Chains A and B, each alone.
Chain A
Amino acid sequence: MSRRADVRAPLAPLLYLAAVAAACGEEDRAGGGGGAPEATPWVWDLPAGFPEPIVPEDDPMTEAKVELGRHLFHDPRISRGQSQSCASCHQPALAFTDGRARALLASGGEHPRSAPSLANVAWASSLGWANPVLTRLEAHVVVPLFGTDPEELGWSGLEDELVARLAAVPAYQDLFAAAYPDEEDPVDVHRVVQALATFQRTLVSGDAPWDRFRAGDEAALDAAARRGLDLFSSERLACSRCHGGWATTDAVIDAEGGGGSTRFHNTGLYDVGGTGAYPEPSPGLIEATLREEDSGKFRTPTLRNVAVTAPYMHDGSLATLDEVIDHYARGGRLIATGPHAGDGRDNRWKDPLIRGFTITTDERADLLAFLHALTDEPFLTDPRLADPWAVVR
């Protein structure tokens, strides 16, 4: 924890400094990085209606740690083979997804599941698609770093090699020193994890047309999108029963006492052989809880930026938003043939809210217009979240 956390300073100049740092090469940062950032108390500059997220007491937010985390997040050196960074699967322009049904592994294989968006991940009540255990970003970061099933960044048992690699980079000496000014030898793997978690807490998406509309700007949504919003919130479609509120998901928790209850749903995407099961290797929450009734349950994803996060669902098995609407309108997906054959509509563990609905062609267009109004362009292009190494390279 910074000894100088009580130092107060106007926010705007510091944001400017952070932005300048973002645009600087290594030499510039080496010269000027030791000053203001680590003294900066973190001030959440949250969109209207966003509660403060939970931040672990032992990993407080600081400007310098965010900046360190941004460098680590975008650095291919974070994978053992230096072929992938966190941003390879979580690309800013795609709301921190990768556009693939299943993420590419450094080994050349595929991850069993689709890379989820990291927009507003600071409020996620659990991380991963169906994991009730991972409730802090710090706990999740070690999964790609050290996981072996599947192996992602490839560092299981090799953390000393990772630390040595990072410590040999002059820019990291400066960035770690700025983020941990009280530490004599600040480059260590625990701080890598903390900085990555801290940066990810700044991935705040709340400047979509829908947000401006909610804030009182009637013109932010056109007539079609406004009709789509009404449909989205209607009893008939019932989208907002799980995707409601500022977060557009019920799988959130905040520091002001909100959220933290309902998190996982079976939406009838599969019913393999009529057993209620989802296909391996992604059977849903049951994999963690071992309870049969948790078959096919997955965390409700945010719908923010949903127009740029195709393909959809935990396994990327729905290619377009039209297919997603078809799935929910039918009340579950029918797979007629093949190893996954079964009618998801009849899945015994399906959430009762997924009951199907009729929707006209015009209504579908309206609903799509609203879903597109959840795209937060400033978030997708925010220089504070972008690759800081691009300038250096």
Chain B
Amino acid sequence: MPRSGYQGQVDPVRSARLARVALGLGAMGLAVLGAACADEGIEAVGGGPAEFLDAMGAGDGRVAIQVVARVGDVPVDCTSRYPDLGVPGSRAGMRDLRIFVHDVRLITSDGAEIPVTLDQDGSMQYQGLALLDFEDGTGHCERGTPARHAAITGTVDPELVGGRRFDGVAFRIGVPFELNHIDVTGAPPPLDTTGLFWGWGEGRIFFSAVTTVEDGDDRPHLYQVQIASIGCEGDPRQGEVVSCTRPNRADVVLRGFDPGRDVVVADLGAFLAGADVVGGSGCHSGDDTPSCLAMVGALGLDPVTGAPDAARQTLFHVEPQ
């Protein structure tokens, strides 16, 4: 069940319209004025014209946080081949890029964190959890799913925003413990994604970046970066996982982000720059090679303890749309 008061499904038409309006507002940074468009908030928001706010049907606090995945300047998709990935630079395609995130917040210009109540879309967002999905099951992505999901959509409480401008976004990579270990079959989407379920750990793979590397052999081999909670233990009498010594939920805090003006960018080229894509098979939670520790850290966590550490985060940055 949604834990917020939000009950409805996303109306794609309306969402698209709002997105266009958001784009139109551009540098004014008013896309989330919806957030601030409650009656008492209108006057305070960056001097925005009230009639325009009315035109966009504002007041409902709707927000969309766009996330773009690229290798350098090239968008991530299932058919492109990237010429110079990892060490030594190798030709590679992207087979999987999916990231579970939760605890999504927008940060106001004076540093307050406003929780985003996610749309319950029945596929990619459930409770406070969203699956960012940059594959569509075509091309290299043979074990993927058709739908992509590159925008976290939801609402913020206009009263909490209080007319302030947004200047940052924060979220946590991973699945909350209370959802992470539920059965994969029969779970509500996106928790039912078998391709992101680590059966031996009875938990979700929080971050999955799989490349198919062409290193001169007949068949490309896979290089996988997959991060999940590890060091978990179950209780046989309860029949469930009760603890994990390395949760591996990463904190991402990005300043200078306005959802109406900016996008969150994940640069997989930079992320994988030190990866031994030819000699190695990948980087998993708990691996302790220097390149793997660096990648795990770059998600925004301490790779040794598995505790969140936003200061290490380099996978994501902010760019103007």
Contact = CB atoms under 8 A, between A and B. Distances in A.
A189 B185 contact: yes
B236 A126 contact: yes
B200 A260 contact: no
B245 A142 contact: no
A8 to B, nearest CB: 28
Interface stretch (A151-159, A227-235, A314-322, A323-331): A151-159
B201 A139 contact: no
Nearest to B143: A157
Given A143-B199, A157-B144, A260 B236 contact: yes
A132 B185 contact: no
B185 A190 contact: yes
A190 B183 contact: yes
Contact of A146 (B186, B199, B240): B199
Contacts of B219: none
Interface string A124-151: 0110100111111011101101110100
B201 A133 contact: yes
Interface in B143-168: 143-145
Nearest to A260: B236
Nearest to A255: B237
Contact of A290 (B238, B240, B246): B246
A125 B200 contact: no
Given A134-B202, A142-B194, A147-B200, A159 B185 contact: yes
Contact of A126 (B186, B193, B203, B234): B234
A131 B230 CA distance: 12
A135 B234 contact: yes
A288 interface: yes
Nearest to B210: A148
A143 B200 contact: yes
Nearest to B284: A149
Contacts of A142: 183-185, 194, 197, 199
A158 B202 CA distance: 18
Contacts of B145: 157
B195 interface: yes
B232 interface: yes
A290 B286 contact: yes
A54 B203 CA distance: 22
A193 interface: yes
Interface in B125-156: 143-145
B183 A138 contact: yes
Contacts of B183: 138-139, 142, 190, 193
Contacts of B286: 290
A300 to B, nearest CB: 14
Contacts of A56: 239
B231 A290 contact: yes
A156 B234 contact: no
Query: Main SS of the interface on chain B?
Result: mixed
B184 to A, nearest CB: 6
Contacts of A133: 200-203, 232-234, 241
A54 B237 contact: yes
B197 A146 contact: yes
Interface string A250-286: 0001000001100100000000000000000000000
A289 interface: yes
Interface in A346-369: none
B110 interface: no
A161 to B, nearest CB: 11
Nearest to B187: A190
B235 interface: yes
Nearest to B137: A157
Contact of A135 (B143, B203, B239): B239
Nearest to B193: A157
B199 to A, nearest CB: 4
A112 to B, nearest CB: 12
A190 B185 CA distance: 5
B57 to A, nearest CB: 37
Interface in A185-200: 188-190, 192-193
Best-surrounded residue of A133, A139, A259 (most CB of chain B within 10 A): A133
A159 B231 contact: no
A159 B143 CA distance: 10
A85 to B, nearest CB: 18
Contacts of A253: 236-237
Given A190-B183, A289-B231, A157 B237 contact: no
A155 B197 CA distance: 12
B233 to A, nearest CB: 5
Contacts of B143: 156-158
Interface in A95-145: 125-126, 128, 131-136, 138-140, 142-143, 145
Contacts of B239: 54, 56, 135-136, 139
A135 B243 CA distance: 13
A133 B181 CA distance: 10
Contacts of A288: 200-201, 230-233
Contacts of A158: 143, 194
Contacts of B236: 54, 125-126, 135, 253, 259-260, 263
7 contacts: A54-B236, A125-B236, A132-B233, A260-B236, A288-B231, A288-B233, A290-B231
Given A135-B236, A288-B201, 11 more contacts: A54-B239, A136-B239, A139-B183, A142-B194, A143-B200, A147-B199, A190-B183, A263-B236, A288-B230, A288-B232, A290-B245
4 nearest interchain CB pairs?
A: A157-B195, A190-B186, A157-B143, A143-B199
Interface of A: 54, 56, 125-126, 128, 131-136, 138-140, 142-143, 145-147, 149, 155-159, 188-190, 192-193, 253, 259-260, 263, 288-290
Interface of B: 143-145, 183-186, 193-195, 197, 199-203, 230-241, 245-246, 286
